[in-house]
């Protein structure tokens, strides 16, 4: 026996189902018999089903695409939904650009204040930067390159211009770039900061036998359903010492996975976790010292990039104060560690979040 609240909820659910059904039926009738001829909002001829002429249209998917476009034009409230979507989209883009501009001003002050240091800025585009239906891009990387110009600054970006590119360079279930994407990013960054150096070639591809479940799947609790194969490059690097937040220890577990691929894998376990400070010392005093200020995307490239330098310092400002027990002060840090090159590296979150604001 249902109580009063349960009965009301049941009635409400039934009414909503009926309303949606009526709306769908009305939309189908309108689409089939009373279609709009003009899309007033976009000032063009509206899509209709009249162009579907034969069974071949279904075999080559022309019909399916036409049906989708027709319903997008003809169903009730479609114009309203497009207006709302475009309004929200424009607000989001304005927010991203305005916040990016603040961060550029922050970086610009550092660059101007340290003319003796060579700076590089690398922006990583991902799925949040492009609408894969329209291929419309936020173009934040272009915005950055237009806004900041200094003699001691080089800029570049990891561009994604289609869904096919995204599938090639990023995980399906995770936010990060895969081994192909991170290696491409490493090569592009190396060209900026050490143009005379040749990229290190991977020794082999490591394939982890356990399915990989990225953070996207974990967010929705569907790791058992949505997972994928995990592959990574293995590099045979020269001997080096690594320190994480002041403690000497290995960064990443590439060797362990090479020896035993039957292990559960995460992006951070293979490449190395987010850490307030990572120092990698290749003991090459003839080379320069470099600082990387970035987010979790640089986890995959820290060690191979470090092999081209004497000492590499990687700082994640989200964790530095908590793990190191003090505020990160850029001027003091670069002077203390004799740093002559600095890289800003990250995706959109790095360029808009106050957590990555750099104090002089």
The whole-number pLDDT of residue 340 equals 98
- pLDDT band at residue 88, thresholds of 50, 70 and 90? low
Percent of the chain with pLDDT over 70: 81
Write down the pTM of the prediction.
0.80
Calculate mean pLDDT across residues 11-20: 75
316 contacts 346 by C-beta, under 8 angstroms: no
Calculate mean pLDDT across residues 163-181: 96
Calculate mean pLDDT across residues 149-153: 95
Highest mean pLDDT out of 7-11, 95-99, 245-249: 245-249
183 shares a domain with 300: yes
The whole-number pLDDT of residue 217 equals 82
Given a cut of 80, whether residue 2 has pLDDT beyond it is no
The whole-number pLDDT of residue 1 equals 54
300 contacts 171 by C-beta, under 8 angstroms: no
41 shares a domain with 141: no
Percent of the chain with pLDDT over 90: 65
113 shares a domain with 63: no
What's the distance, CA 120 to chain centroid?
19
- pLDDT band at residue 190, thresholds of 50, 70 and 90? very high
Nearest to 304 by CA among 246, 236, 245: 236
Using left for φ > 0, alpha for ψ between -120 and 50, and beta otherwise, residue 181 falls in: alpha
The whole-number pLDDT of residue 40 equals 62
300 shares a domain with 194: yes
167 shares a domain with 129: yes
Calculate mean pLDDT across residues 93-119: 92
Q: Is 282 domain-assigned?
A: yes
d(CA 211, CA 11): 44
The whole-number pLDDT of residue 248 equals 96
242 shares a domain with 193: yes
Q: What is the pLDDT of residues 203-213, one digit of tens each?
A: 999 999 999 99
Structural domain boundaries enclosing 8: 4-76
Given a cut of 90, whether residue 202 has pLDDT beyond it is yes
Give residues with Cβ within 8 angstroms of 308, minimum separation 6. Answer: 190, 194, 197, 287
Last residue in a domain, options 27, 58, 76: 76
Q: What's the domain count of the chain?
A: 2
The whole-number pLDDT of residue 320 equals 97
């Amino acid at each position: 026996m249902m109580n009063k609240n349960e009965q009301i909820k049941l009635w409400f659910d039934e009414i909503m189902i009926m309303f949606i059904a009526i709306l769908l039926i009305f939309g189908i009738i309108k689409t089939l018999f009373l279609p709009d001829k003009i899309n007033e909002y976009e000032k063009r001829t509206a899509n209709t089903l009249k162009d579907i002429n034969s069974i071949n249209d279904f075999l080559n998917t022309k019909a399916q695409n036409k049906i989708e476009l027709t319903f997008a034009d003809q169903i009730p409230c479609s114009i309203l939904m497009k207006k709302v979507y475009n309004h929200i989209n424009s607000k989001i883009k304005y927010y991203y650009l305005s916040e990016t501009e603040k961060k550029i001003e922050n970086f610009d002050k550092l660059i101007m204040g340290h003319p003796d240091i060579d700076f590089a800025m690398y922006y990583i585009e991902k799925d949040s930067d492009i609408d894969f239906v329209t291929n419309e891009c936020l173009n934040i990387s272009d915005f950055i390159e237009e806004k900041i110009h200094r003699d001691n600054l080089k800029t570049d970006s990891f561009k994604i211009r289609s869904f096919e590119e995204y599938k090639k360079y990023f995980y399906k279930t995770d936010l990060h770039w895969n081994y192909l994407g991170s290696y491409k990013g490493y090569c592009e960054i190396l060209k900026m900061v050490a143009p005379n150096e040749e990229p290190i070639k991977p020794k082999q591809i490591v394939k982890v036998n356990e399915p990989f479940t990225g953070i996207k799947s974990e967010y929705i609790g569907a790791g058992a359903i949505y997972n994928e194969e995990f592959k990574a490059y293995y590099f045979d690097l020269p001997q080096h010492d690594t320190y994480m937040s002041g403690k000497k220890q290995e960064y990443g577990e590439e060797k362990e996975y090479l020896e035993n691929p039957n292990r559960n894998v995460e992006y951070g376990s293979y490449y190395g976790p987010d850490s307030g400070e990572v120092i990698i010392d290749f003991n090459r005093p003839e080379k320069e010292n470099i600082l990387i200020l970035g987010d979790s995307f640089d986890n995959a490239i820290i060690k191979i990039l470090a092999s081209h330098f004497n000492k590499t310092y990687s700082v994640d400002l989200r964790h530095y104060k908590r793990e190191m027990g003090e505020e990160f002060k850029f001027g003091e840090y670069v002077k203390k560690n004799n740093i002559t090159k600095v890289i800003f590296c990250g995706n959109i979150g790095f360029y808009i979040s106050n957590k990555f604001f750099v104090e002089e």
